[in-house]
Amino acid sequence: MLFRQLFEPVSCTYTYLLGCPTSGECALIDPVIETAERDLAVIRDLGLRLSCTIETHVHADHLTGALKLKHLAGSRIAYPAMDALPCADIGLREGEPLRIGQLALHPLFTPGHTDTHHCYMTDAGVHTLLFSGDTLLIDGCGRTDFQSGDPVALYRSIHDKLFVLPDETLVYPGHDYDGRFVSSIAQEKARNLRLGGGKSLEQFVAIMNGLDLPNPRKMAFAVPGNQLCGQCPPNVPDELRSPCEFGDQG
């Protein structure tokens, strides 16, 4: 498997490139509209072809690059089937692996950050890789105070779906704000500030309900835009609209 971890610094979003060297196909998990051309350049340098983009959930902090990449590269758009988005080409469901050449990506339904959130797993040979989106972050987790968030559901998703995975499973989060790249299930069970050390459901709910965080800066246009697979809605500020222009692939 060919693998790259790519970073968008404004929203601190990680995009993951998974490639099959046999077929030449690849996928991007959680692409960002501002870095679509960069991601395609990486794909070309690896001699791969982008077959699809994959979303963990409808994001509130950035616009997805899915629609732009479809325009530039002819890739298909995959979202959790529960979102029922007319713009999506592929609906992803737990128990139905997505094939990327000879690679198999396994969806895991993990509600809590949003009510349709999915994580994705793949076997890289030596390790299992978990792409945890905003469900499980390094020493943290996604917030639960908007988009049908639910701290009880998030706690159960993490404990029932993720913390039961082998300790050596590598955790690749959807974001990190402190320059960290990867964790493991063992590490998160032991030292996650919100969940680790055997914290109870009641302790977790109290932590999440006490965060008192401001809404993401781009939320007003990111959520409706991502429900259109990355189409920029009219309320995108002029100074942020340049990535919305879909030029021809060079």
pLDDT at 245: 85
Confidence category of residue 250, pLDDT binned at 50, 70, 90: very low
Q: Quick check: 248 pLDDT over 80?
A: no
Q: Is the domain of 59 the same as that of 129?
A: no
Q: Is the domain of 114 the same as that of 209?
A: yes
The proportion of the chain whose per-residue pLDDT surpasses 70, expressed as a percent, equals 98
Tell me the DSSP string of 3-49: EEEEEETTTTEEEEEEE-TTT-EEEEES-BGGGHHHHHHHHHHTT-E
State which residues form the domain around 138: 110-213
**Cβ 86 vs Cβ 64: under 8 Å:** no
**CATH number for the domain that contains residue 159:** 3.60.15.10
Q: Is the domain of 2 the same as that of 72?
A: yes
Q: Is the domain of 191 the same as that of 209?
A: yes
Residues whose CB falls within 8 Å of the CB of residue 216, separated by 6 or more in sequence, listed in order: 11, 60, 61, 222
Return the amino acid letter for 146.
F
**What tokens does 20 get?**
């099959």
Q: Is the domain of 143 the same as that of 209?
A: yes
Q: What is the mean pLDDT of residues 140-148?
A: 96
Scan for tokens 């105070």, then name that residue. 145
Q: Is the domain of 236 the same as that of 206?
A: no
Strand ordering across the sheet containing 2-8 = 2-8, 13-19, 25-29, 49-54, 76-80, 90-92
Q: Is the domain of 3 the same as that of 63?
A: yes
Q: Quick check: 117 pLDDT over 80?
A: yes
Rounded to whole angstroms, the Cα distance separating 233 from 121 reads 32
- Give 14's strand partners: 7
Q: Is the domain of 81 the same as that of 14?
A: yes
Confidence category of residue 247, pLDDT binned at 50, 70, 90: low
pLDDT tens across 227-239, in order? Answer: 999 999 999 999 9
Q: Is the domain of 206 the same as that of 245?
A: no
pLDDT tens across 42-89, in order? Answer: 999 999 999 999 999 999 999 999 999 999 999 999 999 999 999 999
Q: CA separation (Å) from 84 to 6, 91, 141, 233?
A: 28, 8, 25, 19
Tell me the DSSP string of the chain: -EEEEEEETTTTEEEEEEE-TTT-EEEEES-BGGGHHHHHHHHHHTT-EEEEEE-SS--SSS-BSHHHHHHHH--EEEEEGGG--TT-SEEE-TT-PEEETTEEEEEEE--SSSTT-EEEEEE-SSSEEEEEETTSBTTB----SSTT--HHHHHHHIIIIITTS-TT-EEEESB-SSS---EEHHHHHHH-TTTTTT--HHHHHHHHHT--PPPPTTHHHHHHHHTTTSPPPTTS-GGG-GGG------
- Our count of domains for the chain comes to 2
Q: Is the domain of 224 the same as that of 177?
A: no
Q: Quick check: 7 pLDDT over 50?
A: yes
pLDDT tens across 153-205, in order? Answer: 999 999 999 999 999 999 999 999 999 999 999 999 999 999 999 999 999 99
Q: Is the domain of 127 the same as that of 189?
A: yes
Q: Is the domain of 97 the same as that of 114?
A: no
144 φ/ψ angles, rounded to the nearest 5 degrees? -130, 20
pLDDT at 220: 97
Residues in the chain, overall count? 250
Q: What is the mean pLDDT of residues 121-131?
A: 95
Rounded to whole angstroms, the Cα distance separating 7 from 17 reads 11
